Amino acid sequence: MMKRKIVNFKVNGESREVLVESNALLVNVLREELGLTGTKYSCGTGQCGSCTVLVNGKPALSCLMLAVAVDGADIVTIEGLAKPDGSLDPVQEAFLDHSAIQCGFCTPGMVIMGRDLLNKNSNPSESEIQEHIKGTLCRCTGYTSIVRAIKSCGK
């Protein structure tokens, strides 16, 4: 049995302390220990982007991150994008308005990538959006409406 370690980090603005084994992956700690099941596990090998969360403000793959390695980090998951009163982020609203969701499995990762791009570039072009979400796969192939939804948030 491996030695467990205490890890402290902020998740969606709240300080959390979890006791994890060294080989625990961030995606599983978020989903199973903290009940934040919005973050999805899909390929587990860094190809699909479904498990994307913001780590210190930057999108990263929680399936390829040891929980012990994010000690001290500030993490935002899809649950943290909505405001405390429950109102959605404009990117989430846009996904609803543009029906940019089919099965919904890639959506948390897509929304986070859209938010990240808009934080850096308030009016991204279609090709800039495509480039930014190219590592986040949608197998219902709803890319057209996803790109349209993100684009509609530009100003």
Partner 1 sequence: MITVNTRILKAEFEYFTPNTIQEALHLLDQYGSDANVIAGGTDLLVQMKNEVISPSHLINIMKISEMSFIKAEEGWLRIGAATKWHEVVEFCAKDRKYTALYEASCSLGKVQVRNMGTIGGNLCTASPAADSAPALLVFNSQVKLTSAQGERIINLEDFFKGVNLTGMAPNELMTEIQIPSIHNGMGSAFMKITRVGADISKISCAVALERQGDICASCKIAMGAVASVPMRIDQANRIVIGKKVDASLVEEMGKKVSEEINPITDIRSTAEYRRKTAAILLKDVFWKAWHRAGEDR
Candidates 65-73, 78-86, 90-98, 139-147 — which segment interacts with partner 1 by CB under 8 A? 65-73
Contact residues for 54 (Cβ-Cβ < 8 A; gap 6+) = 60, 75, 76, 77, 112, 116
Candidates 86-94, 95-103, 126-134, 142-150 — which segment interacts with partner 1 by CB under 8 A? 126-134
End-to-end, the C-alpha distance of the chain in Å comes to 53
Query: Beta strand 74-76 with 52-55: parallel, antiparallel or unpaired?
Result: antiparallel
Contact residues for 149 (Cβ-Cβ < 8 A; gap 6+) = 91, 94, 95, 97, 98, 100, 114
Candidates 8-16, 59-67, 87-95, 141-149 — which segment interacts with partner 1 by CB under 8 A? 59-67
Site for partner 1 in 82-111 (CB under 8 A): none
User: Three-class SS of residue 18?
Assistant: strand
Q: Of the candidates 11, 65, 111, 118, which one interacts with partner 1 according to CB under 8 A?
A: 65
Q: Which is nearer to partner 1, 135 or 154 (CB)?
A: 135
Tokens of 51: 């498990």
Q: Of the candidates 25, 129, 149, 150, which one interacts with partner 1 according to CB under 8 A?
A: 25
Name the minimum Å distance from CB 60 to partner 1. 5
Q: Of the candidates 16, 60, 79, 128, which one interacts with partner 1 according to CB under 8 A?
A: 60
Q: Helix 143-152 crosses helix 90-97 at what angle (to 10 degrees)? A: 130
User: Binding residues for partner 1, per CB under 8 A?
Assistant: 2-3, 5, 22-25, 28, 41, 43-47, 49, 52, 55, 58-61, 63-66, 68-69, 71, 113, 116, 131-132, 134-136
